[in-house]
Structure 1
Amino acid sequence: MKIPAHCLLITFSALTLGFAPPRVVPKVTDVLPAAALQPYGRTLLNKEQLELISSAVHFGFSFEGTECQIFASLPNTQGHNYLQYELDGVYQKRLKVTGNSKEPITITAPGAGKHTVWVYKATEAHTGAIAIQKITGQKVKAMPNSKAPLIEFIGNSITCGAAMDPSEVPCGAGQYHDQHNAYMAYGPRAARALKTNFILSSVSGIGVYRNWNSLSPTMPQVYEKIDFQDKNPQRWNFATYSPKVVSIALGTNDFSNGDGKTARLPFDSASFVGNYVQFVKLVKAKYPKAQIALLSSPMINGKNRTLLQNCLTAVKQKTDASFPTDKPVAVYFFQPMQARGCLGHPNVEDHAIMASELEPFFRKLIQ
């Protein structure tokens, strides 16, 4: 069959004009290894994985484009834990990490361009570590350490941000750490308002000379352990950070009536003050140049509130006498509060009130 000349011309023209499908240029994905991250808080680099241990331990990175991926895992394949994050300076939400998940966590930005992400561990050390393997995305880079002053917040469940946020799992449902929100706790809130760095060293239920429902291990016994577990032989390297201020908020559990099951003796002020003074000396040995600040408890009211304030005043006096050339210990007494969170704890709004109270107090200490 003879093909007309004009058809041959059209066919030739189509080929020469390149009507073939355009070539797809693949996106370039960069990899930021966990070892390159520069975190604030207690971590452990284990087989190229960065284990996030303490409450609100956090790291930052930047990327370009509209999304990036965080590769995270748990040592317990049957468990779950939580991260939370900021995108371009705005808090977003909590991210549930499940032990059996094989997929990375994808963070999506509303538009192209360069974006900054800060990721926080929402839960405390005793909940278990979250391991970060890597971050992927376009031009992903670790955020460098800031030169701003650092505040370390030592405390109990209040400092952890425990039992404060029932927005996803109601009070009384799920597991204890399902209501943790370390990012919104009073310490990180106050630090952000002051534009300082922060780390949290806190354990739910812990006290100075006794805990909520046990005699030990107390904070003085676990503070040096990397994960605040008394049976762990691995110790934290205190040379990692040099806080300008160390805030200590302990006493709520020493004063508590316990769980109603374990035998509980009346509060012993001599034991409390003695143990507290020794703990402050331990902290000062780790950070000789740091300003020590003692906080009372917003959950203790009535006669016990007065007793706690008297005990903290005694701790200050004894410490100042032992270290006459150091900066005097600072003390702050919270205003009484009727906590509105789970299990009688402060909730998100209560922590905002506490942070607002503390802001002028800490502002003077970091100058």
Structure 2
Amino acid sequence: MKRIIALTAILCLALVSARVPAATRVDADAEALQYTGRIDFSDRKAPLLSWPGSSIEANFTGTSLALVLDDEQGNNYYNVIVDGNRRHPFVLQAKKGEHRYEIGYGLSPGKHSLEIVKRTEGAEGATAFKGLLLSDDARLLPPPERPERRMEIYGDSISCGMGNEGADNGRDDLASEKNNYWAYGSVAARRLDAELHTICRSGIGIMVSWFPFTMPQYYDQLSAVGDNDSRWDFSRWTPDVVVINLFQNDSWLIDREKRLDPIPSDKERIQAYVDFVRSIRAKYPEAQIICALGSMDATANDKWPDYIRAAVKQMRSEFDDEKLATLFFDYTGYGQHPRIAQHVANGEKLAAFIKRKMDW
């Protein structure tokens, strides 16, 4: 009987060993890891990802792959794309605390690519990335080349990708169905081969939000988690093109919900937009700024687009700023957040517009 128990224990241990291969540890500060986005590197061994679309890329060899993440809340989701399989990524739901996540066994010997992309936003908290675990004989290879073109977006839930994976007749507020990778800005950036930073928060506005802070108070943060004192160093990264897609929440909260008292006049609405765009212009004197809106119901008529048109006209006149343009995404009549099909169409429209404007 003792011999049988001993053999059984050995067999179980062998099975466990077969499922969990020996690992080569790659720390988060490895030079061959390529980070994109506003990422907090206060701890180089555990950089914090909080903004949607923040990403890590690598090339590696080996036959297995695991990640080590330490998530604040347990509400974040990530796309883990191996060997460019964008249509069918490994969708990782981060658990609260530090955990190891097995991504793939039985990869073919040879070279592989990896892309880890944050689907969710600051409302779901931040995640510390603590490195990779590769198979025993594996190694990192030089990272992919960075795109030379750079884009940045300031927006609300539309730009975040809120609900874009939801059913057309279903809810659109679930973290599991929020996928910034397929938001219009990400679609456009891939089409243009541009590096993208997306600075967005669902529910945010320029004058008023669904919570106590607005984009003028939020846009310069290093961390996307709530209203905080962290500050992004704008000298670290300068975009060629900035897209501002805001005023959707202002339109609801001012006209429908009457959340501001007194109600701002048309002139005050226009000036609020001017003030925010000028704050972006102060950071990026040479960037092309595209003042966009949509594709939700703020573009159902010309009222709110006309505020933006008037603001751009005012800035051209007062500040001789000719690097301004407007672009409006058509409202399709669909009453919820855009789904992926709408994001793809809007991303293609944005990419074509930028290509013409920038001669890309």
The TM tier, using the shorter chain, reads: 0.7 to 0.9
- Structure 1 pair 268–179 and aligned structure 2 pair: CA distance change class (3 A): farther
Aligned 8 A contact 2:47 2:128 in 1: yes
- Structure 1 pair 129–330 and aligned structure 2 pair: CA distance change class (3 A): same
1:224-251: CA deviation from partner (whole Å, max 9, x where unpaired): 1222466422211112211000000001
1:260 Cα offset (Å): 8.2
Amino acid in the other structure paired with 1:232: N
Structure 2 CA distance for aligned equivalents of residues 258 and 301 of structure 1: 12
Task: Tell me which residue corresponds to 1:287.
Answer: 284
Task: Tell me which residue corresponds to 2:349.
Answer: 357
- Structure 1 pair 208–301 and aligned structure 2 pair: CA distance change class (3 A): closer
Structure 1 CA distance for aligned equivalents of residues 314 and 256 of structure 2: 34
Amino acid in the other structure paired with 2:94: V
1:79-131: CA deviation from partner (whole Å, max 9, x where unpaired): 33111122222211421111156333323465221011111001012210011
The secondary structure found in structure 1 opposite 2:47 is strand
Task: Tell me which residue corresponds to 1:159.
Answer: 159
* Root-mean-square deviation (Å): 2.6
Within the candidate set 183, 186, 199, 1:185 is matched to 183
Q: How many correspondences in the alignment? A: 329
Q: How does 1:79-228 map to 2 (within 5 A)?
A: 79-91=74-86, 92-100=89-97, 102-108=99-105, 110-137=107-134, 138-141=138-141, 143-144=143-144, 146-166=146-166, 171-172=170-171, 176-211=174-209, 213-214=210-211, 216-228=212-224
- Structure 1 pair 115–259 and aligned structure 2 pair: CA distance change class (3 A): farther
Q: How does 1:41-80 map to 2 (within 5 A)?
A: 41-47=37-43, 48-76=45-73, 79-80=74-75
TM-score by length of 2: 0.83
Aligned 8 A contact 2:75 2:175 in 1: no
1:174-229: CA deviation from partner (whole Å, max 9, x where unpaired): x7422210001000011101111111000100111112x35x41101111122246
In the alignment, structure 1 residue 256 sits paired with structure 2 residue 248: no
Aligned 8 A contact 1:44 1:52 in 2: yes
Structure 2 CA distance for aligned equivalents of residues 259 and 67 of structure 1: 54
Task: Tell me which residue corresponds to 1:336.
Answer: 331
- Structure 1 pair 267–352 and aligned structure 2 pair: CA distance change class (3 A): farther
Judge which range, 93-102 or 42-51, deviates more: 93-102
Aligned 8 A contact 1:84 1:119 in 2: yes
Structure 1 CA distance for aligned equivalents of residues 179 and 106 of structure 2: 23
In the alignment, structure 1 residue 305 sits paired with structure 2 residue 305: no
- Structure 1 pair 284–259 and aligned structure 2 pair: CA distance change class (3 A): closer
Structure 2 CA distance for aligned equivalents of residues 248 and 218 of structure 1: 14
1:301 Cα offset (Å): 5.6
In the alignment, structure 1 residue 314 sits paired with structure 2 residue 306: no
Structure 1 CA distance for aligned equivalents of residues 25 and 238 of structure 2: 30
Structure 2 CA distance for aligned equivalents of residues 312 and 260 of structure 1: 19
- Structure 1 pair 282–84 and aligned structure 2 pair: CA distance change class (3 A): same
The secondary structure found in structure 2 opposite 1:98 is coil
Structure 2 CA distance for aligned equivalents of residues 294 and 155 of structure 1: 11
- Structure 1 pair 158–277 and aligned structure 2 pair: CA distance change class (3 A): same
Aligned 8 A contact 1:221 1:230 in 2: no
- Structure 1 pair 109–145 and aligned structure 2 pair: CA distance change class (3 A): farther
- Percent pairwise identity: 26
Structure of higher CA gyration radius: 1
- Structure 1 pair 142–248 and aligned structure 2 pair: CA distance change class (3 A): farther
1:337 Cα offset (Å): 1.5
1:33-78: CA deviation from partner (whole Å, max 9, x where unpaired): 21233311111124320111101111200111222111111123xx
Amino acid in the other structure paired with 1:334: F
- Structure 1 pair 69–200 and aligned structure 2 pair: CA distance change class (3 A): same
Task: Give the gaps of 5 or more residues in structure 1.
Answer: 1-26
Task: Give the gaps of 5 or more residues in structure 2.
Answer: 1-20
The secondary structure found in structure 2 opposite 1:356 is helix
Structure 1 CA distance for aligned equivalents of residues 72 and 353 of structure 2: 40
Aligned 8 A contact 1:208 1:272 in 2: no
The secondary structure found in structure 2 opposite 1:162 is coil
